[in-house]
Structure 1
Amino acid sequence: MNTRFILLLIPFICWGVGLSAQENPDTTYWKKDFKVGLNFNQAAFSSNWKGGGVNSIGLTGLLNYKAKYNKGQHSWDNEIDLAYGIVKNQDQSSRKSIDRIFLDTKYGRKFDEKWELFSSANLLTQFTKGYNYDVEFPNGEVKDSVISNLFAPAFLTFAWGFQYQPTEYFNIRFSPLTPRFTFVTDNDLSDLGAYGVDPGENLRSEWLAFQALADFDKEIAKNLNLKWKYLLYINYENLSLDEWDHRLDLILNAKVNKFMSVNLGAIVIYDFDQVDEVQFNQFFNLGLVYEVKNYED
């Protein structure tokens, strides 16, 4: 547990070091945006409903905080993105619908109007256990099988490189030096060699790698926001195309009023160390959202 706690603190330590390095920072150069949301989904059918269906209820909590500092040649972007949701279908146990912990910090120094050198760190993991449900074991027993957990996996990535930002709403980072550390602190999973670690080991280190990260976030119409993020990760030690990692996060958010929003999203992942197939997750939510920020769009 101590290892997990230390890992979780690393990005915050990076933020603290960066803050202490600035003498008397002027808060007028900070853009801060805090959002918290609660989404509720429910469906019910009478016993004589002929169209088919399953009674269900779902709840999702979201929290996102961004703090961006920009003055002269210097920039410092920070983000906390948390999400957790459960769904309960009739005659089934409660199951996760989304589970995400993402922390990111980046310091940049401009050398051109649209280009900057940057250094960044981010951490990606989840809150609770994930399962394969109703798995039949060799002894004939059918039960749920744990396939992930808190810090199993956790991906801690450091990157150094160049960022190109032609507009306020789009940027792309090129990182020729991107060491990544994959933690699997669940011993049952590490014994299986899950997520690319050697069987029995809790850590996999990838020191020599390239990463490209494209980020788009724009109001494409009044009260309609489109956000997507694409990540490409290539280990120099294995340049085979089928072992490049890809991840695409896509969210379309419509603001109904000050406190209500609708969002449609999808996550697409290809990670050879997890499974040699494309993973896909789609979601639709209607719920309450509260936002506070110190600037106008």
Structure 2
Amino acid sequence: MSMQWSFAQVDLKNLRAKPDTNLVEKPKSPVSNISQVVVPIPRLGLEVDYWKHWTKLGFNINQAFFNKHWNAGGVNSIAVLGTAWHKSEYNKNKINFTTEADLRYGRIQNDFLDENAGTLSKKNIDRIFWDNKLAYKLSPVWAIYVSFTFESQFDKGFTYARDNLDREYISGRESNFMAPGYFTESFGLEYKPDNTFSIRLGTGTARQTLVLDEQVKALTVEQYAIRYPDRPPITADQERYGLRPGQSFRNDLAFQLTANLDRDLSKNLHIKARYNVFADYTDLADPDQRLDAVLTAKITSLINVSLTGIVYYNSAEQPGVQVSQALALGVLYSLPR
């Protein structure tokens, strides 16, 4: 009995399939019939542009009219203002270069409908401002920078007086293009937490003041008496824009602080401001200070209302604080749209 069981085990072992045995014939793969095809990939020609550009062109006009029957008081007037602003910025790795130009010119005429009023057209704003800055980032918010700035004006500025017939006339020239003109070079640290606000600390700053118009330069007592024989004489030589008689150039070394704000307060309300302090190292207690601010409210894509204010103190020009303010309705075209 045991012998028969042994033969049965042997027979079953012979019937086992080996692991590599194919019980079903495999179909031939169609992949073997596919030939390799090379697909050409076109060059896209993509380039990285590290520059950004912004431009704004504006024109404002203000006008008031009162007819002869209007008895509540008032003066017919018209004022026009043209503005042009451009900014270009380059960013690559830790390098940043920014150039910004701000140009403004405006005039006002009172009693423009009355030929016998004897009033003259006057400029009410005149500014050339060009700022250039090269910075190298030390951290996400701090950078070391060098900058160059030019400031002047387009047109002549006058003083006015009235004659015996109450007609207005030009009594003297106060300013002109490059009279004064300012060149400022600065080196220091910049703090910039975001793209809308920055502070520059210019520990090494030099400013050159130029007065190139002979009629704007300071005069001696004798020169003043010859040029203005009808005026009361002066008792001491003049000093204008920090320059004495015979001088047309002055260089100052100073500490400079410059704060810039350029931010949207809401969807249609924008503020742009620049505050600058220039403290001469020879007289740190009497620094020059200037604040320029423009608040713009957008009515449509082209029409806007702007409120402009300037607060300026420079003891070399005037002993007190100079203030200018203007409210205007106008057209402002911005690029990119």
TM range, normalised to the smaller chain?
0.7 to 0.9
Alignment pair present for 1:251 and 2:302 = no
**Per-residue CA distance 1:268-295 (angstroms, 9 max, x = gap):** 000011011000000111111111128x
Aligned-pair identity in percent equals 38
Letter in 2 for 1:235: D
* Structure 2 Cα separation of the partners of residues 67 and 81 of structure 1: 12
TM-score (norm 1): 0.85
Q: Which residue is 1:209 aligned to?
A: 254
- Residue ranges of structure 2 left out of the alignment (5+ in a row): 1-46, 112-116, 220-238
Q: CA 1:27–1:229 in 2, change beyond 3 Å: closer, same or farther?
A: farther
Alignment pair present for 1:127 and 2:148 = no
Within 5 Å, give how 1:1-297 maps onto structure 2: 28-90=49-111, 91=117, 92-134=119-161, 143-192=170-219, 193-206=239-252, 208-239=253-284, 241=285, 243-293=286-336
Letter in 1 for 2:84: L
Say whether the 8 Å CA contact 1:129–1:146 is kept in structure 2: yes
Say whether the 8 Å CA contact 1:56–1:89 is kept in structure 2: yes
Q: CA 1:84–1:27 in 2, change beyond 3 Å: closer, same or farther?
A: farther
Displacement of 1:144 after TM fit?
Answer: 2.6
* Structure 1 Cα separation of the partners of residues 240 and 80 of structure 2: 29
Q: CA 1:220–1:150 in 2, change beyond 3 Å: closer, same or farther?
A: same
* Structure 2 Cα separation of the partners of residues 67 and 27 of structure 1: 16
Q: CA 1:142–1:36 in 2, change beyond 3 Å: closer, same or farther?
A: closer
Q: CA 1:176–1:135 in 2, change beyond 3 Å: closer, same or farther?
A: farther
Letter in 2 for 1:202: S
TM-score (norm 2): 0.75
Secondary structure of residue in 2 paired with 1:196: coil
Say whether the 8 Å CA contact 1:135–1:145 is kept in structure 2: no
Say whether the 8 Å CA contact 2:148–2:184 is kept in structure 1: yes
Secondary structure of residue in 1 paired with 2:216: helix
* Structure 2 Cα separation of the partners of residues 235 and 150 of structure 1: 24
* Structure 1 Cα separation of the partners of residues 193 and 162 of structure 2: 49
Q: Which residue is 2:28 aligned to?
A: none
Letter in 2 for 1:148: S
Q: CA 1:120–1:288 in 2, change beyond 3 Å: closer, same or farther?
A: same
**Per-residue CA distance 1:28-83 (angstroms, 9 max, x = gap):** 22121011111111100011212211001111110000001112100000011101
Q: CA 1:214–1:103 in 2, change beyond 3 Å: closer, same or farther?
A: same
* Structure 2 Cα separation of the partners of residues 135 and 106 of structure 1: 46
Displacement of 1:135 after TM fit?
Answer: 7.0
Say whether the 8 Å CA contact 2:120–2:169 is kept in structure 1: no
- Structure index of larger Rg: 2
- Residue ranges of structure 1 left out of the alignment (5+ in a row): 1-25
Q: Which runs of 4+ in 1 moved over 3 A?
A: none
Between Structure 1 and Structure 2, the one with more strand by share is 1
